[in-house]
Every structure is written in structure tokens, then in C-alpha cells.
Amino acid sequence: MIVEPSTEQIIKEAAKKIFVRKGFAGARMQEIAEEAGINKALLHYYYRSKEKLFEGIFSEIFDHMIGQLKQSVTTDKPLIQKIEDFVDRYISTIEQNPYIPLFIVNEIAQNPDRFVEKIKSKQVFPELAGFFQQMLGEMERGNIREIPPLHLFLNILGLCAFPFIAKPMVKAVSGMDEDTWEMLMKDRKKEVKTFIRRALMA
């Protein structure tokens, strides 16, 4: 049974697409309306303002990413496998939404205060603390090499997310075409996992 999407849903999808590509400052209500196949007035009928529309979109996207992030970290597996699950899941998520990481990082940078409160309520820190404890435990037991957990976490995030954040720059600088890029990314999960494993294993 196929339900056709409500106007509200159509607007949300259109807004998501435009906001994610152009950012809040660069997005135009007119463009969102066109993308949705309606007019500007209707945008304001459903959402009172550009600000409110954006707020809804951003929350949805951010919650989804945080949710993904938590899932891999919360399981009961041994550290190395947990890290590799994290890499697989995180890169898969990004591959499906390649513009998202740059979008999130950018909007928070533009307006950090707006998000501090929202994020606190997400309670991601306890999960991370557990993850870090597990790292420290493995180091004490000599199973992995010494490295401050936060640096290791930054390394993992960076190895996963950076290529997608920097893709337009890398392609421009190297003159790489889209096919070559895709071939490169096809191996990315494997290469990242190998790189991390080598760095951690004594």
C-alpha cells in the first residue's frame, strides 16, 4: 500500500536537500519552494519562518547521525571489533548522505551556541565515556598501544569523515573525475580499518 507523501513531508525533503547543499545562509526559500513544486507562501503556511524550517531539518539530521554513532559504541563487543563496526557503519551512513558531515560541521561552526543546549539533551557523553574506558582497559592489558582515547577517537572520526568533507577540494586539486573517486572510496572502509588496526596493534 503506497501512501503518497503529504505536502508537509514533500517540503521537508525539499528543504533538507537545499539546506544541506547550500547551508542556512546560502539557501533560498524560493529555491526550496521550486524543489518542492509549490510556492513560497506555502512554506510559510507549514513552517512559520526560514529559521523554524531549518531548525526542524537540522534536528532531524543531527539526531539521526548521533543515533548511528551511539549504536556502534554501545554494543558489548571487544574494542577492535567495535571500532571496525563503527567505521563500517559510519562510512556507510556518510556514503548515503555525502553532504551531511560538511553541513553539520559548518552549521555548528556558524552558530555554536544554538546547539550546545540541544546536544546536551542527547546524552552522548556517557556512551563515549564507556567507550574511552574500554580503550584504557585494553591499553592497560597491553592489547593495544598507548594513545589518549580522545586522540584515537578524533583519528577514527577524521579517517572516516574527512574524505567526504574534502571531496570537492581533493577532486579539484587532483583533477580526479567522479568514477576514479568512486573507485577510491570503494576501498575506503577496508583501508581505514587496516590503517587503524596497524596503528593500534603492537
Task: Work out whether 110 is an interface residue with DNA (CB under 7 A).
Answer: no
Smallest distance from its own copies to CB 171, Å: 7
Cell output for 42: 506555502
- Shortest spacing between CB 18 and DNA, in angstroms: 10
DSSP label at residue 76: -
State how far Cα 186 lies from the chain centre. 18
**Pair 192, 160: CB distance under 8 Å:** yes
CB atoms closer than 10 angstroms to residue 103: 22
Q: Applying CB under 8 A, which residues contact its own copies?
A: 22-26, 66, 99, 102, 104-106, 108-110, 112, 115-116, 119-120, 122, 124-125, 128, 145, 147-148, 150-151, 154-155, 157-159, 161-163, 165-175, 184, 187-188, 191-192, 194-196, 198-200
- Measure the CA–CA gap between 47 and 60, rounded to whole angstroms: 15
Q: What angle separates helix 149-174 from helix 188-200, to the nearest 10 degrees?
A: 140
Identify which of residues 29 and 147 has a Cβ nearer to its own copies in the complex. 147
Map the footprint of DNA across residues 9-68, applying CB under 7 A.
27-30, 38-42, 44-45, 48-51
> Binding residues for DNA, per CB under 7 A?
7, 27-30, 38-42, 44-45, 48-51
